Amino acid sequence: MKTRITELFGIQHPIIQGGMHHVGLAELAAAVSNAGGLGLITGLTQRTPELLAREIARCRAMTDKPFGVNLTFLPSVNPPDYPGYVQAIIDGGVKIVETAGNNPQKWMPALKNAGIKVIHKCTSVRHALKAEAIGCDAISVDGFECGGHPGEDDVPNFILLPRAAQALKIPFVASGGMADGRSLVAALALGAEGINMGTRFIATQEAPVHDNVKQAIVAASELDTRLVMRPLRNTERVLTNVAVERLLAKERELGAAITFEDILPEVAGVYPRIMQQGDMQAGAWSCGMVAGLIDDVPTVEQLITRIMDQAQALISARLASMLHPA
């Protein structure tokens, strides 16, 4: 399939694996890129720029296809060494960066001078327009359904994607709730030029996480995610568990007075315990409503082939037969 996204990134299929903390390691990024999509290493999961440089080298040894790095800009009192991470990306010869969190304006000159294509992930049309204005090459439009941080506007993709299509000149992919060929065809119909998936890629053979995480996604329905940290204006969609329900009880009890310190036990240092140790009650971890559409753990290659085959059948058989009934 050829879209502005496949052309921009030099990939075979318009399918991107979004940055995922403690999931987006070289193994997954390389598997996605080898299957013809675009795999992304999650920059901040590597504790230092030196470790990111090593992860980039590891990924390069596993694939000769294009891959990228996610750089998430978090509001933080002690920010990570962003200049160091940007330099590691440039020195590592990576040509695609997914930015998220804050607007990447400060880093655009360095990234653009190094010939890097920037896809900015955001959850509103106004942020997408800002990214376009500062020179981003593409947008990942992340709807309210998404796993992780959906922002505070709560606009689902059935509205957000056509709004983005009306407003943007640069190409965009649909992110949040994407699982299969139906998602891809719907996203294309709504104006996107591809899809970005997070949760669906965790439940694959190559995702370097504990099997308990994959089985939790397979077992979950579309009713099993919760929105946490809304009172802190840092809303995150997570899979429910004992710790998440305790966190929500604190939010109800403390109301507007709640602070980040109050919920530290449910959010701090949780990712390694969930993703590596498989301790599924350890705390809040991002997961999309799309878990309700996931019921197996294929290889990345099987998943991507299945998505493309299903999309092709939908377009050329189901939809075409409606236009041209026998």
Ligand X SMILES: Cc1cc2nc3c(=O)[nH]c(=O)nc-3n(C[C@H](O)[C@H](O)[C@H](O)COP(=O)(O)O)c2cc1C
Interface with ligand X includes 146 (CB under 6 A)?
Answer: yes
Q: How far apart are CA 255 and CA 267, in angstroms?
A: 18
Segment lying near ligand X (by CB under 6 A), choices 14-22, 52-60, 258-266, 276-284: 14-22
Nearest CB to ligand X, comparing residues 34 and 70? 70
Length in residues, the chain: 326
- How many Cα atoms within 13 Å fall on the side-chain side of residue 228? 30
Q: How far apart are CA 305 and CA 244, in angstroms?
A: 35
Residues 159-218 that bind ligand X (CB under 6 A): 175-178, 196-200
**Contact present, 117 and 97 (Cβ < 8 Å):** yes
**Interface with ligand X (CB under 6 A), residue from 27, 55, 137, 145:** 145
To ligand X, the closest distance from the beta carbon of 27 in angstroms equals: 15
Residues 54-73 that bind ligand X (CB under 6 A): 70, 72
Nearest CB to ligand X, comparing residues 34 and 196? 196
User: Tokens 């090593």 map to which residue?
Assistant: 54
CB neighbours of residue 200 within 10 Å: 27
Nearest CB to ligand X, comparing residues 168 and 275? 275
Nearest CB to ligand X, comparing residues 117 and 319? 117
Q: How far apart are CA 112 and CA 109, in angstroms?
A: 5
To ligand X, the closest distance from the beta carbon of 113 in angstroms equals: 23
Extended strands (E) in the chain: 15-17, 39-42, 67-73, 96-101, 117-122, 138-142, 172-175, 195-197, 225-228, 236-239
To ligand X, the closest distance from the beta carbon of 120 in angstroms equals: 10
Residues that bind ligand X (CB under 6 A): 18-21, 23, 42, 70, 72, 100, 121, 142, 145-148, 175-178, 196-200, 285-288, 290
